[in-house]
Structure 1
Amino acid sequence: MIQLFMSRSGSSVIVPLRFPASQSAIAGVSCQLDEASREGKTQIVEIKSVIANLPSYLSGLDPDSRTQLAQLNQLSSIIAKMDSRERNIYAGALDGNSINDLNDMIRVAEQVSDYILIPNVNSDVTLGRYVAVAGQIQGDPRFPEAAWPYLDFAKIGAEYYAEHGGAYTYAGYVLRKQNDELIREKKSKIQLDLTSSQAQTSVCLPATKEELERIKRTLGVDCFAEAVITEVSFPVPYMDEHIPTTGVCVEDANELAWAIEGLQFEDKDLKKYLSVLSAEQPETFQEALYYAMNLDDYEHFSDDLEAYGKTVLRRIGADDELIDTIDGYMDFEKLGEDAMVDDGVRRTEFGLIRRCSSPFSEETHGLEMGGLS
């Protein structure tokens, strides 16, 4: 992953050493250098690496320093575990950070997952085009497609680069994920990272049909089945704890994102959905979508026995006037507690939930409601 070619001053013998290296291998190279010349300082003649720009950062390496060789070994071990895409990202991350020593190189290598590579974007012009396409996908009114022939993409790209940093590489544009608001759109309900053979992009859902078609064009695919979903995230609190990411497809994710957006208009509806997820514990993404589409089959209540008792009375025909009349003469809490058992109500961290079509089983119900007795 990293190879040093070393010699001793006064000798023409050059000895290679490949990292990661064992202590015996390092000692063996030291012996070869000693045989060539026991006097003089060890010099690095050449450095090679699978990370094209790494040798320039290692120009000040002291091959006689045990500490630096140990750090170089650590860095090489990290790089050895990277795939080709991560190596490209690391190269860009090096250029996009202030690198002063091996500690900085190791730190950036350990944080490579915090960066994203936008393939084939390696100039202000191509970055400007990417910003315009991504902005249109996200509904940014500054970049309508009809205006593209008149846009100064180089200026758009240069301004974006100046504001967000990062670095151009032969493979594409590398920057921290948190610095790209086009990728980390805070208003999204579900976010997908997609990769195809031609491109990589992040999609903030919900999206319109037209926006999804633009995303396909960006990826260079006819259908989303030709792309791979590499990451699924949920900006809405608690969703990631209760929605599994098994079997996700773009179409289902978009449908669920539209449903969640509708629920957020009424905070109580969002809590109802979270309660359903907590009680039902879906095993697949499709099951989570099913529950979102069938919320009418559930009733959600605050964790209040008295309020539930009054709800039971209303369910059998009592109006508020009757309930007010008997208030003080009836134990609403006891009625609520008993009714919860009969109705199969579950307690969740988001409130109480009841399934109308078929009550939750008593066996599980007993575990959920134990704290109420």
Structure 2
Amino acid sequence: MDKGKIFEVELSRWNPSGANPSAQIALPATPYELADALEKARITGDTVYSAEVLSCKLDYLPQFIAPDINLYELNHLAQRLSSLSAWELDCFEGMVMMDAVQTQYAPISVERLINMTHSTEHCQIAYEAHDDPSLGKFYADNDFVPALERVSDEVYEYLDFAKIGREMREGEGGVFTPHGYVVQNGEIASEYHSVDTRTLDKPDYAVLLQVTKGHFNDPAYDNETVVFLKLPAGDAALLQAVDAVGAASPEECAFSAEDCMAPSLTEKISDVLYASEGDCYGLVNELAEQLRQLETDNHLLTYKAMLAEAPGDISLEEALDLAFMTEEFELLTDTASPAEYAKVEIQRMLSLAGDNGLSLFCNLDNYGRYLLEQRATAETEYGLLEPQNGMTVDQCLNRPGQSLGMEMK
């Protein structure tokens, strides 16, 4: 699991008419990463889907999360957990275990789990106590049992610390965790309500950049101010961000990508901006403008499928070039397997002629793979990417040594 991530989740939906596409995503995730995972799993609108937690940084937690959890709400929980300190995470585990004891380990609503992350101030942890005897001795040693204050040292040695610990634990409702004894002295907060994140507002940017002031090893000049710049943006917005971090010019700033409408480009954008020390800002802004246009023209999903099929070392300039070539492809989002592709082709052929040789292909999967190879149609997580004018994504990049056009057999 990536550093800083809490959950690894698999999204899936039930599709009685064909293949059941699924997608995996690590949480917390950005808004566009969430939208991208839902698109890969073909989940739209009111589609019923499940979100299965495959792994979790907190290994005790998945058993308490129901599979019908809302993705946005689970992401909010991941964001909250990723912001907690080690001590706060220990408190959170204790609160989860307190609920588990009361409900015989039934699932806990994510709303309550999120509110637990807001309630750590009401917790106390005795890291020395891992069972009733050590808890009893901890309480006795620290004068938390008023009745024992006048006990002599001779009598103290004969005290039943296990009984003391058990009575204190049962009276307080505390629990033992792998980290120690946790007790909560207050109610779970009510700061969060499920309706707050059942849906997610569409971001008002195509690319989101983090802007900081470059470090010059000068305490009087450096600072830790961070601002975010939404692209596409004009020069005025750029200069406003530069001024907000206390820099004299964009050249004194460090830029990194936080989110992108095409999530596969986020890291590449950061790498390019870091390597060029901001010189490629204009290129990134132009890419953001084109991404916004692709969304307007309903070609964004096709573009993301093209990027998925492109070589891993594609440059940002090449990615921008591809953004102007989406009409060279058709994305079949409802066709997720070779067998389904074969069915689509059979329907096309039957609408034009009779059998037309279909009896030679009795295995739909084999026939579909045959068609994919013949037409250089690519299988992507978003659907099957079908060339419209005989050129693959690689050929659209027009790199040196490549032959244009594909040989039709």
Query: Which TM bucket (shorter chain)?
Result: 0.3 to 0.5
Per the normalisation by structure 2, the TM-score is: 0.37
Give the TM-score of the pair, scaled to structure 1. 0.40
Structure holding more helix per residue: 1
